[in-house]
Amino acid sequence: MIETYTITLGNGIDLSCRAAGRPGDPVLVFLHGFPEAAFVWDELLEHFSDRYRCVAPNLRGYERSSAPPDVEAYRAKHLVADISSLIDSLGGELAALIAHDWGGALAWGLAAHRPEAIRRLIIVNSPHPATFLRELRHNPVQQAASAYMNFLCRPDAEALLSENDFARLWPFFTNMGAADPAREGGGWLTDEVRDRYRAVWTMGLRGGCNYYRASPLRPPLGAGDPVMKVEFAPAAVTSHVPTLVIWAEDDIALPVALLDGLEAYVPDLRVVRVPGATHWIVHERPAFVSAEIERALAG
């Protein structure tokens, strides 16, 4: 059974959370992405709740979590600090951190800087910052696939996304077959699921868009674009946490070239590539994702 609560972190940020399982059991934390919310993990929270305390926070800027108005508040260091503080409140060590999309961006950072707090890292279609930077700079395929990021940085992005019953947001899902029951894993975008997303988006989209505005990682708009000057020290982006990466190969936003060279930054790595699945694999194939997480936890 899913419970909801709000926790106030040491930095004053409130995170609204969904949880299942017994306090005191080993802890799993699940991090969502854009334009999602914590509810996307409900099936997995219930699946693991007989053995683990499972917690899925709504990230800063989402649902009923704190949503500071300033873009600066969405710099990576602040977002990662939120999750670090949440882990402390849950006992200081996780059996696993499971993360998708933007949640994965935070998880990669946390694993590099605080490996002692995470026994296992499980990433679902979220690029490592070093390979993402490489592809954004040099691969026209990735640049085209990520062009939407520059739209989301526009000062009027949240207003445009909200127009006409979020007409610009639904294609994030439908362009990958979410409403097509003839496609394997498709048809998950039912009226009920639409209503859940609609309820979250109605609470505000500015926070979610601020993640893109605050990040230097986006397709370059010219030779002098800031992304061309970004540098990552290898030690700052290398994780020694045992890591499983689940990668849906039909993700039109994140091509599989992002996996190339990943082992240089994640020495203890296992990659599961999933043909026919898309960026929304958590919706499409929750049983498959749960089974792979089970394998990682058992390992």
Residues annotated as catalytic are 101, 212, 279
| Pairing relationship of beta strands 14-20 and 269-274 according to DSSP bridges | unpaired
Q: Which residues of 172-186 are buried (b: 16+ CB within 10 A; e: fewer)?
A: bbeebbbbeeebebb
Q: What angle do CA 36, 38, 39 make, to 5 degrees?
A: 90
Q: Dmax over Cα atoms in the chain, in whole Å?
A: 53
Residue among 296, 290, 289 at smallest CA distance from 269: 296
Angular region, 228: left φ>0, alpha ψ -120 to 50, beta rest? alpha
Long-range contact list for 168-175, CB < 8 A, 24+ apart?
169/35, 169/197, 169/201, 170/194, 172/35, 173/280, 175/252
CA atoms within 13 A on the CB side of 178: 20
| Pairing relationship of beta strands 243-248 and 269-274 according to DSSP bridges | parallel
DSSP, collapsed to helix, strand or coil, labels residue 271 as strand
Report the distance separating Cα 122 and Cα 242, nearest Å: 9
Report the distance separating Cα 79 and Cα 208, nearest Å: 12
